[in-house]
Chains A and B, each alone.
Chain A
Amino acid sequence: MSGVVIIGAGQAGAEAALSLRQFQYAEPVIVVGDEPTVPYSRPPLSKDFLLGTLPPEKLALRAASAYERAGVSLRLGEAAVALDPASHTVTLASGERLLYDACIIATGSSARRLPLPGADLRGILTLRTWADAKWLQGALQPDARLAVIGAGYLGLEVAASARKLGHDVTVIEAGPRILGRSASDLAARALARRHEAEGVRLLLGLAPAGFAGGHDGRVRAVVMADGSEIGADVVVVSVGGVPATGIALAAGIHCGNGITADPDARTSAADVYSIGDCAHWDAGDGRGHLRLESVQMASRGARAAAAAIAGQPRPAVKQPYFWSNQYNLRLQIAGWVPPGLATEDHLEGDPADAFWVTRSIDGKLLAVEAVNSPAEYIKGQQLIGQPLCLNA
């Protein structure tokens, strides 16, 4: 038996490897990752890690010894360059070929870039990896002015962390509001007010036209469409992720918005599975194929693939949930609403402190967004999908 080869050593890949052992899978398990580091947790990179409150050694999901003990071999700093479903082989950049009985593609996503003039100036970066975060930390010298392009969770978390560190921060968002794809208007407005109260300059409905640099090749400003400039020493471009489907497409595997995967995480190629940020996964919860970038989706996919490979029953379906920390605000979201879907939203509590928004359609609860209101988040987890009695 050749065992399982997992391409990608992020949260999804690492969880899949360990889950295979939990499911009593006894054959070799190899995880190939192009980053040199032991699998680590990405969410803190924009928050506690950037703030310097999380020691780097706490970023690892587990110590290297945990993989050794579990009999999982980590091939770090090595890139998989090709997958051949017909011969069941994965080829590494070194030319080495790994045979597999089952292959899991967990290549994650890469940061979307802006094809604008000046986008390659020094000081402009995206945040995806530990190396990116260390680079950003180093670039944020005292008095450095930061511009964040894109007001999704990542951009807002970076903005909040940088404000906490005392930097001048401008957030530029092309859409009419922050969190346009991921939160209700009510919650987004409350969070926007908080960012402004903290001193973040929030520019909505405005897209950058390019970047201006100095003679030293470093960025000095974001150039707007009307020619105006926003001075910046560091620019973080956080305008979404692109699923890393290259290796799958080259192997002839079907892809939509990511690598198409069924509830067992199986792709269109025999014995090839896909999980995590790169997968367009039908989790079997009636929502159809989705690509939700979250820790929970990564670990759910990992367990689904591991169970299928190890011949164990499919793990139960759960509600999606998400979280974000900005300033002292702890945002917890239970459930998921497709972007653009019109819902009836109700806000309760104090929008400046602790509040929650229920989102429903025809009296049926779809999601709860709770800020500093863990009890309401927990209630939401229990009530989603059930009729909601609104005292409207």
Chain B
Amino acid sequence: MIVHFVQPDGSRLDVEVDPGLTIMEAAREANIPGILAECGGGCICSTCHVIVDERFFESFPAKEPTEDMLLDLAPGRTEFSRLSCQLELSADHEGLVVTIPDEQPEY
């Protein structure tokens, strides 16, 4: 399946992804800039903040309170913001567009 990663400057990279990976893992495999994932997926650092395709937003499980609080630390949070380490991809996510925010938190 293909997932599209869009950089803040509008450039787009189409990535072949195996279902079962998280968006964060898929981004790291493809070495997508802007998804630092410093803590390696532990939901502790918020450096894997992404903005999820509106069309698919509801298809992911709702945020746990910790994720919600971590997103408060993320610059440029929108109503479609998520931590990509918490979003597992399934075959239904073919064509998903993931947008990288302008900056990742620098606390």
B104 to chain A, nearest CB (A): 9
CB contacts under 8 Å to A, within B69-95, are 69-70, 72-73
Q: Does B33 contact A (CB under 8 A)?
A: yes
The reply to whether A295 and B69 form a contact with Cβ atoms under 8 Å apart is: no
The reply to whether A66 and B29 form a contact with Cβ atoms under 8 Å apart is: yes
Contacts of A317 in B (CB 8 A): 106
- With contacts A323-B39, A378-B70, A381-B73 known, is A21 near B31, CB below 8 A? yes
Contacts of B44 in A (CB 8 A): 321, 323, 332, 374, 377
B56 to chain A, nearest CB (A): 24
The proximity string for A residues 30-46 relative to B, scoring 1 for CB distances below 8 Å and 0 otherwise, is 00000000000101000
**Alpha-carbon separation in the docked complex, A327 to B73 (Å):** 28
Q: Which secondary structure dominates chain A's binding surface?
A: helix
The reply to whether B38 and A299 form a contact with Cβ atoms under 8 Å apart is: yes
Contacts of B107 in A (CB 8 A): 318-319, 381-382
Q: Does A91 contact B (CB under 8 A)?
A: no
Instruction: From the candidates A63, A296, A303, A319, name the one contacting B29 in the complex (CB within 8 A).
Output: A63
The reply to whether A65 and B29 form a contact with Cβ atoms under 8 Å apart is: yes
- With contacts A323-B42, A323-B44, A382-B73 known, is A22 near B31, CB below 8 A? yes
Q: Does B28 contact A (CB under 8 A)?
A: yes
**Alpha-carbon separation in the docked complex, A382 to B33 (Å):** 25
Q: Does B36 contact A (CB under 8 A)?
A: yes
**Alpha-carbon separation in the docked complex, A378 to B106 (Å):** 13
Q: Does A283 contact B (CB under 8 A)?
A: no
Q: Does A70 contact B (CB under 8 A)?
A: yes
Q: Which secondary structure dominates chain B's binding surface?
A: loop
**Alpha-carbon separation in the docked complex, A69 to B28 (Å):** 11
Identify the interface centre among B28, B38, B70: most chain A CB within 10 Å of its CB: B38
Q: Does A1 contact B (CB under 8 A)?
A: no
**Alpha-carbon separation in the docked complex, A43 to B28 (Å):** 18
Chain A: interface size category: 20 to 34
The reply to whether B31 and A18 form a contact with Cβ atoms under 8 Å apart is: yes
Q: Does A62 contact B (CB under 8 A)?
A: yes
- Interface size, chain B (Cβ < 8 Å): 20
B31 to chain A, nearest CB (A): 5
Q: Does B62 contact A (CB under 8 A)?
A: no
Instruction: From the candidates A41, A299, A332, name the one contacting B36 in the complex (CB within 8 A).
Output: A299
The proximity string for B residues 33-52 relative to A, scoring 1 for CB distances below 8 Å and 0 otherwise, is 10010111010110000000
The reply to whether A296 and B38 form a contact with Cβ atoms under 8 Å apart is: yes
Q: Does A86 contact B (CB under 8 A)?
A: no
**Alpha-carbon separation in the docked complex, A295 to B41 (Å):** 12
The reply to whether A62 and B36 form a contact with Cβ atoms under 8 Å apart is: no
The reply to whether A316 and B31 form a contact with Cβ atoms under 8 Å apart is: no
CB contacts under 8 Å to A, within B1-44, are 28-31, 33, 36, 38-40, 42, 44
Identify the interface centre among B31, B33, B38, B73: most chain A CB within 10 Å of its CB: B31
Nearest A residue to B67 by beta-carbon distance? Answer: A374
Instruction: From the candidates A22, A70, A378, name the one contacting B72 in the complex (CB within 8 A).
Output: A378
CB contacts under 8 Å to B, within A314-353, are 316-319, 321, 323, 332
The 5 closest A-B pairs by CB, nearest first: A316-B106, A22-B33, A374-B66, A66-B29, A381-B107
| Residues of B near any A CB (own CB < 8 A) | 28-31, 33, 36, 38-40, 42, 44-45, 65-66, 69-70, 72-73, 106-107
| Residues of A near any B CB (own CB < 8 A) | 18, 21-23, 41, 43, 61-63, 65-66, 69-70, 295-296, 299, 303, 316-319, 321, 323, 332, 374-375, 377-378, 381-382
Apart from A61-B40, A296-B38, A382-B107, 12 more pairs, CB < 8 Å: A18-B31, A69-B30, A295-B39, A296-B45, A316-B106, A374-B65, A374-B70, A375-B65, A378-B70, A378-B72, A381-B107, A382-B73
